[in-house]
């Protein structure tokens, strides 16, 4: 089974500052996808960013970017210019194609943006 580890249960950041959330995963596959999902207090799961393992270029979505280190099996999320609305649980996820689309989620990091 694939495993996804998020070693930071809780983090906080001052508004407008930058914060990095860590994620490592374990797999023997070469082709897979990695995701960061955000779950605000509303409970809705929202896709933040997606990375394809065969792409060397790190994905970016506005203030969100990743540092994908394939050899180290590391997939960290950087949030720049943090906003109050970024307060949420953040889940790292791994998906291997052609296995029924099974997504494996990490245990989550609770991020609080402090005004």
CB of 3 to another protein, least distance (A): 13
How far apart are alpha carbons 56 and 86 in whole angstroms? 27
What's the Cα-to-Cα distance from 35 to each of 15, 49, 88, 92, 98, rounded to whole Å?
24, 6, 16, 6, 17
In the complex, the residues that contact another protein under the rule CB under 8 A are 33, 35, 37, 39, 42-45, 47, 50, 89, 91, 95, 97-98, 100-103, 105, 107-108
> In the complex with another protein, which residue's Cβ is closer, 33 or 64?
33
DSSP state of 28: S
Which tokens go with 22?
């860590």
CB of 42 to another protein, least distance (A): 8
> In the complex with another protein, which residue's Cβ is closer, 85 or 100?
100
CB of 16 to another protein, least distance (A): 27
> In the complex with another protein, which residue's Cβ is closer, 83 or 97?
97
How far, in whole angstroms, is CA 21 from its chain's centroid? 7
């Amino acid at each position: 089974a694939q495993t996804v580890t998020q070693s930071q249960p809780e983090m906080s950041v001052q508004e407008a500052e930058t914060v990095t959330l860590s994620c490592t995963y374990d797999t023997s596959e070469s082709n897979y996808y990695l995701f960061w999902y955000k779950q605000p207090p509303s409970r809705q799961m929202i896709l933040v960013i997606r990375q394809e393992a065969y792409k060397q270029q790190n994905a970016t979505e506005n203030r969100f970017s990743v540092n994908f280190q394939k050899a180290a099996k590391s997939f960290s999320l950087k949030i720049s210019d943090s906003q109050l609305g970024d307060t949420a649980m953040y889940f790292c996820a791994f998906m291997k194609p052609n296995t029924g689309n099974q997504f494996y989620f990490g245990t989550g990091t609770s991020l609080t943006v402090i005004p």
